Amino acid sequence: MNFRHLLILSLSSLVMVSCASEVSNSQSKESPVAVNTSVPLSSTPTKTLAQSQESTAVKSGTFVSGEHTTQGKVSLTTKDGKSFLELEQSFKTSESGPDLVVILHRSDNVIGSTKPPSYPLKNGGYIILAPLKKYSGAQKYAIPNNINLADYKSAAIWCRKFNATFGAANLSS
Question: What are the boundaries of each domain within the chain?
Answer: 55-170
State the pLDDT at residue 3. 63
**CATH class, 55-170 region:** mainly beta
Give the number of other Cβ atoms within 10 Å of residue 100's Cβ. Answer: 22
State the pLDDT at residue 141. 98
pLDDT digit of tens for each residue in the chain (173 aa)? 566 665 565 655 554 545 444 433 433 344 333 333 333 333 334 343 444 456 788 899 999 999 999 999 999 999 998 999 999 999 999 999 899 999 999 999 999 999 988 999 998 899 999 999 999 999 999 999 999 999 999 999 999 999 999 999 999 98
State the pLDDT at residue 11. 56
The three-point CA angle 39-83-58 to 5° equals 85
State the pLDDT at residue 8. 66
Residue type, 71: Q
State the pLDDT at residue 57. 80
DSSP 26-82: HHHHT------------SSPPPPHHHHT--EEEEEEE-EESSS-EE-EEEEEEETTE
Query: In 3D, which of 149, 168, 161, 151 has the Cα closest to residue 57?
Result: 149
DSSP symbol at 124: T
Query: In 3D, which of 129, 64, 60, 63 has the Cα closest to residue 100?
Result: 129
Instruction: Answer whether 166's CB lies under 8 Å from 68's CB.
Output: yes
Instruction: Answer whether 95's CB lies under 8 Å from 159's CB.
Output: no
Q: Residue 73 and residue 86: Cα distance in Å, rounded?
A: 9
State the pLDDT at residue 51. 44
State the pLDDT at residue 47. 41
The three-point CA angle 46-52-57 to 5° equals 130
State the pLDDT at residue 111. 94
Q: What are phi and psi of 65, to 5 degrees?
A: -70, 145
Please name every residue paired with 130 in a beta bridge, in sequence order, or none if there are none. 102
